[in-house]
Every structure is written in structure tokens, then in C-alpha cells.
Chains A and B, each alone.
Chain A
């Protein structure tokens, strides 16, 4: 089986985000990058699926500047077999262009399965995976909480929550795009032997400029700003009765929630 994992490298959740002076984006200086956590679930599921369906291979794919090769190497150290780095060539990209470039890179590779995270944690757009599936004309199932490979190794059963404790259960025939939700699995660490092995695994580089064709972004970022700083909390003083009165008054008049 041939399995792809789409990875996005995103700023570490602990990074202090600073907006550029002209509000055109965020300062990339001093940012520590990590693999988007939902994509880690995708890597783990891909490796697990490979282990259940030998002979199989897992190919980690990431689009972005050279730094994203680190994300690919981490996936290789976790157990992926090969990497494809698509250099963004500094092109203007939105979800649409990203999906187009990825789909064009993937379309001749004949993947049986493509795992992705349900969304990236930086822009939270949750669009690329679905569009990739659309461009490849294959089914997609996002928010997968459970993935069970069929006995024929050509299909899978997928579970996802639809709120209120209800689960949807799908079966899907390959090829398909699966978007990982939290809880799908517990991603393994890149072990030290894994890191040593990753060094010799091949990473191919493609150029987004060769793959983008005439596609142009459909959206543009107009402005970036940080959320307003949270004001300090208020401490109410007095007897319980007065406190209740004050609280209701504040909730009604200031917070306007009741």
C-alpha cells in the first residue's frame, strides 16, 4: 500500500506571536516550529496502517520553505519511509493554491491513502485536505477519531463524532483522504534509533512553481492583529446576598450575557 501524510509546520503553541509592523503577517524571527499536532496523529495512523499492511510505504509530504524539511525528518524518524518537500518558491498562497500544488504533486503517485490533520493549528482554516481530495477526485473523511483498516486492505471503517455523543460510522474505499481528529491515536516519539535511521531516508524536492500552473489565490490576508488583551478580573466584596446582586447586575449591564 502506498500511503501519504500531508504535514504542515506551524509555530509552537508556546511561541509568543508578534504581528509585523505593517500588519501583513506575523514575525517569523525567533519562532520555533513544530509539526501541527493533528498532523502528528496523521503520521502515527499512517505508520500504524503501514505496520498492518506490509509491504507498504509511508511518504511524508510538506509544502513550505526549506525549514519544513525538519518536519519531514521528524516524520521519517517516527517511521515514515520517504519524504517529499515541495519548496513554496516564495509564491503567494492561500488554502486553494496550497491544495492545488499538493494535489498536482500527488496526482501521479497513485496513493491508496492520504492522511492529514483535520486542520492546522496556525490558521485553523480546515480547507486544504478537503480541497486536495476534491482536486484528486477521491473521497474525504475529516475528523476521524477511529480508523480501522478493512480485511481487504482496500477499504476502511472510520468513526467520527457529530456532537451530543453521537457517532457517525463510514466505510470508505481507497483511495481516500482521511483527516485526523484528536484521540485517533497517541503519536509515538521519534526514538533515537529512529532519528539515526531517518538520516539515510530519501527526501525529494519539488518546486511549487512547477506545480502551480495558472492557479492564483482566491483569498488574500488583509490585516493581522492580536486579540485584545484581557482586562484584569474584578473581585466583588460583601455579604453573599449583596455579592449575588452585584454579580447579576454586572453580568447584565457590563458583560451583557444575561
Chain B
């Protein structure tokens, strides 16, 4: 399957909207240069197109195989995983201490777009490994870090995150997996997890599960009592060599609509009371720690929406330019096809700006030397995360629908790539917290960040943009319409806050998703308008 991306749009956002040279002013990235960023992106795109994209269609047809004991990933994944790791891509955005590459997230975001657009199913494996390793790196003891992290970034061992149980999906607090303290400081893990991506496979010699469990006696039926554990599939000796199997059993794999190359496993821990886990960081801090990974994973879900939407649009566009129908015209010449392509283009470019700029806010929020600036940008990243996740995945799906429509009947046929894109992208609205959960997150947590100050500052930034450019001749009308939309988001937010303030949650919760969509539409409108202003100046 061929993968194409509008590299000009990618560069336009990085160079003219984000001004990625600002990243070089941050001490964390002082060893980089713009030429290096460009080279990284060139190489990543080349790797995506030449190595990752060719296995996308075949892995979808083949899927994962489970023989009752072990899971086999599709043909080619093992070799690709090693190559991907050798090129340093697994830990591209994490510190160099344990083998990461220390790139800014702003550069890793487009890289991820290229990779996921080429095969989102394959990317689940390195994505989960990176997330799990980074959790250990951030929160675990030196001993655990030294044993696990480097081997995960280098591709020797894989990683997963184990949250979901049959009765505990959106309500993670209901998990039943327990961790019984042992005399030597380790824990015995017992319980079952479902929907574990990369839960078992043959890409690496070991798999490191990060499992949420409750230590008996800690608060029940609440996320407050949950702790986080490192649970290796095969035990690791003190010197880092592999020991005995660790009583982790793969029960089954799911048969799914899409991302068929990604192994989604049901795992049983401690069938024989012999599954050892190690506490990560503090007891009962599990949920808080897991949120580091979840927040990143949510942005990556939005990125998946963008990446597949981008791939689907490019594919539909290429098809429309060569498919001849009626009066000897290519279909791109017909107005209704142009309409569909324009909607796809606007959505993809808008999502791209949203995702890249959120990554930029993340970098600034993490690495800016000025604490006040860090707080300012971190707030923006937090505010936009549920929008990236939810709007990115939903609109990504809608784009694949329009891409299919552009193809006509051929789009429905598996000889052409869009039907796979459509199936593959659907999952992004479901996992990592359903999109409904994202809407509640925006409404319940994000609007009230720092007492509503974050959303106010964000509004102010956009409002200042409108004021500064309202006399731009070609955008005058658009900006005045946009201003109305912006203000109606602000008013809606205010009235929701007022309602919840007096204890009326029903209406805001009923409208949460609509509100998220409305807000996201305005945010994307802002980024696209800003692009228009920049383009007009050049």
C-alpha cells in the first residue's frame, strides 16, 4: 500500500506557523539544529514509505495468529520492528539517558503521522513499548529503570499497558486485579486484563506489562486505591538476563474490524499464584502515573485520526486525478468530487495544525526555562488534549468516509486502500478513553483548569489574533463570522460552568460531546485562519 503525505503542508506548519526554530531556544534541544530536524523528518518519511507502508495491506489480510499459547504477529513485523528500533525511532522523543533520542515532541508528531499513516497496526507495537518504558523511566526506582528501560527503547523487549478488565473499562476504579505484598518487597499479581494491545507477540524476546492492580486493604471501587506494577512476561535476573516464565498467560486474541495486525490480547496473571510484579513509584499513585501515558496516548489517538485521514485523502485525490468518467473528464473536474476533496483537505490540514500545535505547546510546557511560560503552555496542551483525541479520531473517520465516497464503488473494494483506512481508524474514537469520556474531561476537568484561567488565556490568544487581523481585506468577512463562533463557545462554556456551579450537571453532560465538537471546530478554524493570514503575507 502506497503512503503519501502533503509534505509541503507539514513544513508549512512547522516552519511558518509553529516556527519550530523556537524549539532550539529551549535548553533541552540546544544540541539540535533545524537541518537536523529536517533530516530526521526526511529519513522518517522515507522509512515510512519504503519499509512500513509495504506491509500495511498484507498484515491486514493476514492478521495475528494465536495457537492457544503464543501469538504471532503478521509476516514482516518482526524484522520491521528491529529495523525501526535500530533507527532509534522507538524512543525518539524521550531523554537520552536510557537510549532515547531527546527529540522535541513537535518533531516526533509529524514523524508519528508518517509512520501511523503507513501502518497504524504496526505502530501499536513500538508505541506501546515507548509508553511503557517511559512510565518506568519517569516513576520507577533506579533498579527497575536500569533493568528495563534501555532494553525496551533498543527494541530488545516490548511493552504494554494493562488497565482494562471486563467490568472496568471507562470506570477503571472497578478493577479487581490484586497485588499481594511479598516479604522481598515484590508483589504477587492475580487477575485478568482484556484488550491489551501488543499483549503477546513474537517481535521481541520479552514483553514488559505495566499493570494496574490494587493492594489488598487499599480503597475499593475508586481510582484512588490503584497502584502500578511492572510485570514481565519472562522474569529478569538481576544481571538483566532472562529467567523463568512469570505465570502470565495469553487467554485469547480479539478478532477486530481493523488494525488486524495489532495483537489485542486477553491476559491472565497469576493462574498458578506465581506471577511476580514490582511496584512503580508510590503505592496508590498508579492512576496518576498512568495518566502520563494516557495523556500521551490520547494525543497519539488524535494523531492516528489525522494520519489515516491524511493517507486516505491523498489516496482519494490521486485517484480522482486519473479516474476518467463522463465527457472524457477526470472525476476531479466534477464539482461534487471537488467538494468532497475540499472538505477532506480542510479537515486534514486543520487536524494537522491542531495536533502539531498541541505538540508544540507540550514541548513549551515541559521545557521552557520560564516557569510562568511553562504553566501557560502546559495549560493549552491540557485543554486541547481531549479535543485532539476526540475530534481527531472522529473527523479522521469522517474523512475516510468521504475518501471512500470519492472513489465511488471502487472505494468499497479491498483492492483499494480506503476501506482498510476506514476500518483501521475507527478504533481511535473508542480506546484510550472513549470520545464521550473525552468530552466529559473537557467539560469537567479542562474548563476549570486553574480556576478557568487556562481557557480564558486560550480565548484571549485567539481573540487577539482576530483583532489584529480583522482588517485583512480577503479575510474580513470570515473573521467577523469566526468571531461570532468564538464568542458563542465562550458563552456556552460560561453558562455550563454556571450550571455546574449550582449543581446542575444534567444538561452540560448531555451536551458535552456537542460542546467538544463546537469548541474543536473553532480551534481548528483559528489555526486555519492563522495559516491563511501567514500565506497571504508571503
State the A residues within 8 Å of B (CB): 32, 70, 73-74, 77, 189-196, 199, 232
Contact = CB atoms under 8 A, between A and B. Distances in A.
Given A73-B35, A199-B31, A199-B33, A192 B328 contact: no
Interface in B2-57: 7, 31, 33, 35-36, 38-40, 42-43, 46-47
A114 B43 CA distance: 25
Contacts of A199: 31, 33, 36
Nearest to A74: B39
A73 B39 contact: yes
Interface string B313-332: 00000000000000010000
B328 A195 contact: no
A189 B87 CA distance: 7
A70 B36 CA distance: 9
B88 A77 contact: no
Interface residues of B, number: 20
Q: Which 6 A-B pairs have the closest CB atoms?
A: A192-B88, A191-B87, A192-B101, A190-B43, A193-B88, A191-B88
Contacts of B39: 70, 73-74, 77, 190, 195
A182 B101 CA distance: 32
Nearest to B88: A192
Contact of B87 (A70, A73, A192, A232): A192
A74 B86 CA distance: 17
A186 to B, nearest CB: 10
Contacts of A189: 43, 46-47, 87
B515 interface: no
A95 B36 CA distance: 31
Contacts of B528: none
28 contacts: A32-B7, A73-B39, A77-B39, A77-B43, A189-B46, A189-B47, A189-B87, A190-B39, A190-B43, A191-B86, A191-B87, A191-B88, A192-B40, A192-B88, A192-B89, A192-B92, A192-B101, A192-B103, A193-B88, A193-B101, A194-B88, A195-B36, A195-B39, A196-B31, A196-B101, A199-B31, A199-B36, A232-B328
A199 B35 CA distance: 10
Contacts of A32: 7
Contacts of A194: 88
A37 to B, nearest CB: 11
Contacts of B101: 192-193, 196
B357 to A, nearest CB: 23
A189 B7 CA distance: 19
A77 B88 CA distance: 13
A77 B44 CA distance: 13
Given A196-B36, A199-B31, 5 more contacts: A32-B7, A73-B39, A74-B39, A190-B39, A195-B43
A105 B92 CA distance: 38
A198 B103 CA distance: 15
A199 B30 CA distance: 12
A193 B47 CA distance: 15
A195 B47 contact: no
Nearest to B96: A196
A184 to B, nearest CB: 17
A77 B42 CA distance: 12
B36, B89, B103 interface centre (most CB from chain A within 10 Å)? B36
Contacts of A191: 43, 86-88
B389 to A, nearest CB: 27
A195 B102 CA distance: 12
Contacts of B86: 191
A30 B39 CA distance: 17
A36 to B, nearest CB: 15
A15 B290 CA distance: 45
A195 B92 CA distance: 12
Nearest to A186: B50
A74, A189, A190 interface centre (most CB from chain B within 10 Å)? A189
Nearest to B38: A70
Contacts of A232: 328
A203 to B, nearest CB: 12
A123 B477 CA distance: 50
Contacts of B328: 232
A191 B51 CA distance: 14
A47 to B, nearest CB: 14
Nearest to B328: A232
A232 B35 CA distance: 42
A70 B35 contact: yes
A190 B328 CA distance: 45
A71 B42 CA distance: 12
A70, A192, A196 interface centre (most CB from chain B within 10 Å)? A192
